[in-house]
Structure 1
Amino acid sequence: MVIYNKSKFLKSKRFILPFLHTKDLKPLASLLTPSNFIIPMLVVAILGQLSEDLKTTINPKDIQQIPSVKLYFKLLSSGKSTVNLSVLYAISKTLGPELETLSILNIRERINFLSLLQKKIVLEKSPAQIIPKPNILYDHVELMKHRKGLALQFRNLLIATPIFSNHSLVLGLSIGQTTIDCIINSCKFYWSLLGLNEEEFDFSLKKEAMNCIKKHSLKDLFEIPKSLMQTVKILLYVELKELTDFKNLLVFYDDLIVLRGQNNLTMIENELTFIQRKIPNLPQDIFVPDSNLKDLIIRAAIDQRKEQRFRIDNIFKRTEDKQPKSKLNINILKNINIKKTLHNN
């Protein structure tokens, strides 16, 4: 058993998964896997970094419409790691009805029983609904709806917090400074609070990554993981791959945003190495003679091109206004300084 100095952890720099209380989950600790913490934390942290970077130039409503943000939302709402964690959270809040059964089972039988209950809630087709009735624990049908409602509420909070309250996600550092190593250490902290062994954490995480490589035939893309950083990349890659169709790289073409981070990515996205976000391109320059301006099709095309250029110009202008040019990515500067020769008539 590894002994942890909790006072040291409390003073350290940590990432905090919102609304997750380990004292509630502790009775169900045996059902948790490291990826149940790692994947939600990574995605919430990326969203927090995007929101922090863009909050001075884009309002929260528009941030939620960015394609990459929508994909991260989808992973938090339907990805297997987050769904499993949210269901265990819901069960931990409503264990009363199973008391009689749990009291007569041994440890292994309890784990199997709770694992089956978890799967049943995940697969259940009944609607999700939080039901504030005092006798909810004694109505099987209503309890199922209530548990699904609690799980959905938990996932919705994971989605909303990094957009509207990203400062609450970190302790002792800024959201922009959060790295994958910080996420791993923070997960280990939660793991220790659940009374679980750090060596088991490392072993289980690497085992999950190896299983993913075999199951999804990723040997040509990923080597056998030698570090936890590599295992985390593999696990997140697979969950994203299950939600959207991409080959070796996940490329965001349509985000139309410019970030302060390297390669137009947040710090964590850049560390992952398999994500790209394209810098918005201005429309190609073209000269239209005055004699062609009476052509209605040409005129409409010019107006649309000018509108597109104006919109993308504003994206670069907002980036320029919030940060000195000397710190901007060279590729971004090239786009900002493009000569505008589009006909202005």
Structure 2
Amino acid sequence: MTTTPGPLLSAAGLHVTFPGRRGAAPAQAVDGVELTVGAGEIVALVGESGCGKTTLARALLGLVVPTAGCVSFAGRPLDHRPRALKAYRRRVQLVLQDPSGSLNPRHTVYDAVAEGLRIHGSPCDERELVADALSRAGLRPPERFFLRYPHELSGGQRQRVVIAGALVLSPELIVADEPVASLDASVRGEILALLLRLRDELGLSALVVTHDLGLAWNIADRVAVMYLGRIVETGPVEDVLIRPQHPYTQALLSVLPESPGDPVVLTGEPPDPARIPGGCRFHARCHILASGEADRAGVAERCRTDDPPVLAGGPAARVACHWATAVRAG
């Protein structure tokens, strides 16, 4: 565990722009993001498909080189040279959505978990470390799983093997991209409980990428809501999910089964990141603007013409919305 004060992982002014094909305009997949993850903290990064959250996660892992801005870990800027990235990825591990796609069908469970140790040339007892990682991931007794192949395991067991493969290197942070999306409801709860236990027992930090605000409620300390390359609302889970301020967050929450009232129907698709509209990038789909509430608050024109400021990182609750800011101030 690092003892460095301040956030464990941070993004400052992060931009990731992909060149357009055949003369098309470049796509701004990540546009000025400020984000932090503290030691022992679970942060949920939430948004619709295509909002940029997976690209942001890949940039935080060093899999994508930012166009501008900086990623820092334990107070030091991320070095993208191969040797430095190899050392970084020992401390920060990725857990993918689909365990079937993450595991080589020709490798036993033992080999799948030991792969990271072999890549990094660990001098420690490999068998002991693999057994400990499988045990921490809830596969006990671990020796029972050593010689099994992925097709012999349930979906939940395969995901635990993937998590064990991350744990075997004793990382300080994991980035979990939709870690339970492919699992049944009962197994989802078990994997989420496992991540919470690892946080409590090991002090493990996590950035959980998901489209599901219900999952964020069950696991996260803090939530960052992303739309079209920007963080539009962030704060402690109770603030964001009980008292959502941004109309986009309200819409995402309204479709949860336990949400009171009628669902908010988002009209149309998110804009093309190569053609980000002027003003608030959500205004064309905003139910607050469509209902006249933004006009009554005196901010409708600003919603259409003025881009809200980029949110600062950190634990405080913040929102990038002209209407929410006006209502709060009034």
TM-score, normalised by the number of residues in structure 1: 0.25
Bigger fraction of residues in strand: 2
Bigger fraction of residues in helix: 1
Larger Rg: 1
TM-score, normalised by the number of residues in structure 2: 0.26
